[in-house]
């Protein structure tokens, strides 16, 4: 199936399968550990070979990423701005006290879905959707939420359901 079809499948099925997926992720709490993280890592690699983020960009469109101090300094430098000016123009503090991008879609998302600051993007953008780095089992609650935003997470969970 092509990347676009996989994304379309997510759009069509994510609501109908939500309860089933959440039940499965809840069940995985009892199976936390190395074996699950190894399987999730392989599944992450396989799914991201099929799903092309440039066909999607839903995270950049709908979830303002956390921008920590190191990120802000690096991005400001790339843009030739002072950190304080960058903060004022692009960031706001959310209810948890974290600094995040101040608009959705992200101000650095371009029409072709490429990121204007890709090489220097925030750490949160690099790590999203937290399904690899052998850390899948640490973020089960997050995956349950991200299924609604990220087609790759949806397909990773679908594949894991057939294997676990
Ligand atoms: S900084 Fe780049 S990768 Fe991060 S949300 Fe914005 S457009 Fe997407
Ligand atoms: S939502 Fe998921 S599949 Fe879509 S661009 Fe973001 S990481 Fe890629």
Residues 9 and 51 in one domain: yes
Q: Which domain holds residue 80?
A: 64-127
Residues 54 and 70 in one domain: no
pLDDT in tens, 77-117: 999 999 999 999 999 999 999 999 999 999 999 999 999 99
Residues 105 and 147 in one domain: no
pLDDT in tens, 30-80: 886 889 999 999 999 999 999 999 999 999 999 999 999 999 999 999 999
Please count the other Cβ atoms lying within 10 Å of the Cβ belonging to residue 163: 9
Pocket of ligand 1, beta carbon within 6 A: 60, 65, 106, 108-109, 115, 117, 121-122, 125
How far apart, in whole angstroms, are the C-alpha atoms of residue 90 and residue 99? 10
Residues 72 and 98 in one domain: yes
Cβ-contact 73, 123 below 8 angstroms: no
Cβ-contact 164, 36 below 8 angstroms: yes
Please count the other Cβ atoms lying within 10 Å of the Cβ belonging to residue 49: 9
pTM of the model: 0.94
Closest CA to 13 of 115, 110, 143, 157: 157
Q: Closest Cα to atom 1, ligand 1: which residue?
A: 121
How far apart, in whole angstroms, are the C-alpha atoms of residue 26 and residue 79? 43
Q: How confident is the model at residue 164 (pLDDT cuts 50, 70, 90)?
A: confident
Q: How far is CA 85 from the centre of its chain?
A: 27
> Any idea which ligand is nearest the CA of 126?
1
Residues 44 and 22 in one domain: yes
Residues 83 and 114 in one domain: yes
Report how far ligand 2's centroid is from the alpha carbon of 149 (Å): 8
Residues 158 and 112 in one domain: no
Residues 90 and 38 in one domain: no
Residues 133 and 122 in one domain: no
**Cβ-based neighbours of 30, under 8 Å, separated by 6 or more:** none
Residues 18 and 44 in one domain: yes
Q: How confident is the model at residue 121 (pLDDT cuts 50, 70, 90)?
A: very high
Q: How confident is the model at residue 13 (pLDDT cuts 50, 70, 90)?
A: very high
Report how far ligand 1's centroid is from the alpha carbon of 52 (Å): 15
Angle, alpha carbons 110-47-122 (nearest 5°): 40
Report how far ligand 1's centroid is from the alpha carbon of 109 (Å): 6
Taking the alpha carbons at both ends of the chain, their separation in whole angstroms is: 23
Domain count, the chain: 2
Beta-carbon-side half-sphere exposure of residue 12 (alpha carbons within 13 Å): 6
Residues 53 and 68 in one domain: no
Residues 123 and 98 in one domain: yes
pLDDT in tens, 126-155: 999 999 988 899 999 999 999 999 999 999
């Amino acid at each position: 199936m092509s990347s676009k079809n996989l994304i379309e499948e997510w759009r069509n099925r994510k609501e109908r399968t939500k309860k089933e997926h959440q039940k499965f992720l809840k069940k995985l709490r009892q199976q936390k550990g190395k074996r699950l993280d190894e399987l999730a890592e392989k599944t992450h690699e396989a799914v991201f070979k099929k799903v092309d983020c440039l066909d999607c960009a839903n995270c950049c469109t709908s979830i303002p990423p956390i921008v920590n101090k190191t990120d802000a300094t690096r991005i400001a430098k790339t843009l030739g701005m002072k950190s304080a000016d960058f903060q004022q123009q692009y960031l706001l503090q959310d209810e948890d006290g974290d600094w995040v991008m101040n608009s959705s879609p992200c101000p650095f998302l371009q029409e072709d879905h490429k990121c204007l600051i890709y090489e220097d993007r925030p750490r949160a953008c690099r790590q999203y959707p937290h399904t690899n780095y052998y850390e899948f089992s640490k973020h089960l609650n997050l995956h349950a939420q991200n299924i609604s935003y990220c087609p790759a997470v949806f397909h990773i969970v679908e594949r894991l359901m057939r294997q676990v």
